Amino acid sequence: MMTVVSAELADTSVGPPRWLASPGKIVVRLLVYGVPTVMILAPLMSFLAYSFLEQKDNIVTGHLTLANYAAFFQSGSYLYVFFGTVKLAFVVATVALFLGYIISYLIWRLEGSTRYLLLLLSALPLVMNYVVKIYAMRSILGFNGFLNSFLMASGIINAPSKLFIFNQTAVMLAMAVIYLPFGILPIFLALERIPQSLLSAAADLGAKPGQIFLTVILPLSLPGSIAGALFVMVIALGDYLTPQMVGGSEGFTFGRAIWSQFGMAFNWPFGAALAVVLLVTVIALIGLASLIARKARLG
């Protein structure tokens, strides 16, 4: 402590304390910390606050209340939609993990320019317009869509099937296709992190390729891959447009429930409360993902 005190004394003997040095610096500091706070943190806070406001007869009264949360937890239908959506997102993430792992593993085994090209090709759908992808999925899955036409033309079915559109399956299929590319890249990076020397060591110790995969590659890449899949689950949880487009009335999801509060139902405080429930779920998932990723790094 002595040195700290003497240093401070010395500073004042040299001139004014550093933080007083220039008012310009204070302005800069205010801007640097203020702009992100005002643009991002403040809206988040106001949205959190909104979920505790009371609404009566379509008017926000300004009183604090927990009624919005109570309404969610006491309503069977909202809870049902919530857990249904969590399940849906989980299935989408699992599909992304499974297929994403296969694709990443195949690309990872390659060498040279094919490797780069295929990696680029698997990332390219990320930049395709989101609305366009939903639209395309609908034109594939729809009653008069490509899938039905294909199945009928090949004689598998006689009449167009309603299995693929306006239900939970349709939402699941569309989301799986749209969000799969988000899973490929993290899984590929998890595979890339495995030191080449470990594979050589395993081979040197007599492991066959299949054994190397099961004993070295899979255990080392799985945590990172699961973290990537959890990221997909987070995105799928918050989507409210895909279910609207291909889900119809049967494909109602939690995202749509939140959206409707800000649109048709116009109950913002309740919508904010539902969004907070989503936020908490998402934070839990992200926390889980970073926990898994950290565990994996510590070995």
Partner 1 sequence: MTAALSEEEVVRPNVIQLVGVTKSYRNLNVLKPVDLDIKDGEFLTILGPSGSGKTTILRMIGGFTPPTSGRILLRGADISQVPIFRRPFNTVFQDYALFPHMTVAKNVAYGLRIRRRPAEEIKTKVAAVLETVNLTDKAERYPSELSGGQRQRVALARAIVCEPQVILLDEPLAALDAELRRSMQEFLKDLQRRIRTTFVFITHDQEEAISMSDRIAVMDHGNLIQVGTPQEIYYKPRTEFVAKFFGENNLLPAQPDNNAANILESPLGKHSLPASAKGGGSFLLAIRPESFSIHDGSELRQGQSVCVGRLENVTFLGATTQLSLNVGKAQQTIKVRVPTGQSGNNLAFGDDVPLRWSEADVNVLPRG
Partner 2 sequence: MTRLERLTIALLWVVGGFTFMVLYAPALIVILFSFFAMKNHQIDWSNFSLEWYGRLADNSQLLAALYNSIVVGICAVVSATIISLALAYYMKTGVRRGRAYVEFIIFLPFVLPAIITGISLLVAFREIGLERSLITVTIGHIVLILAVVYRMVTIRLDTLENSQIEASLDLGANGLETFLYVVLPQLRSALLTSSLLAFALSFDETLVTFFLVGGETTLPMRLWAMMRTGFTPEINALVSVVLCVTLLFAALGAMSLRESIERKP
Judged by beta carbon, residue 19 or residue 156, the one nearer partner 1 is 19
14 scored as a contact of partner 1 (CB under 8 A): yes
User: With contacts defined by CB under 8 A, how many residues of the chain interact with partner 2?
Assistant: 71
- List binders of partner 2 among 237-276 (CB under 8 A): 237-241, 245, 255, 258-259, 262, 268, 271-272, 275
Among positions 67, 199, 222, 282, the unique one binding partner 2 when judged by CB under 8 A:
282
5 scored as a contact of partner 1 (CB under 8 A): no
Site string for partner 2, 185-224 (x = CB under 8 A): -----------------------xxx--------------
Query: DSSP character for 18?
Result: G
- List binders of partner 2 among 31-70 (CB under 8 A): 31-33, 35-37, 39-44, 46-47, 50
Query: DSSP character for 175?
Result: H
Give the contacts of 296 (CB within 8 A, at least 6 positions apart): 190, 220, 223, 224, 227
Burial 60-91 (b: 16+ CB within 10 A, else e): eeeeeeebbbeebeeeeebeebbeebbebbbb
- List binders of partner 2 among 74-103 (CB under 8 A): 99, 102-103
Helix (H, G, I), strand (E, B) or coil at 56: strand
- List binders of partner 1 among 18-37 (CB under 8 A): 18
Give the one entry of partner 2, partner 1, none that residue 208 binds, where binding means its C-beta sits below a cut-off of 5 to 8 angstroms depending on kind: partner 2
Burial class (CB in 10 A: 0-12, 13-18, 19+), 188: buried
Among the listed residues 98, 101, 270, 236, the one whose alpha carbon sits nearest the alpha carbon of residue 168: 236
Element counts in the chain: helices (H) and strands (E): 15, 2
Binding site for partner 1 (CB under 8 A): 3-4, 6-7, 10-11, 13-15, 18
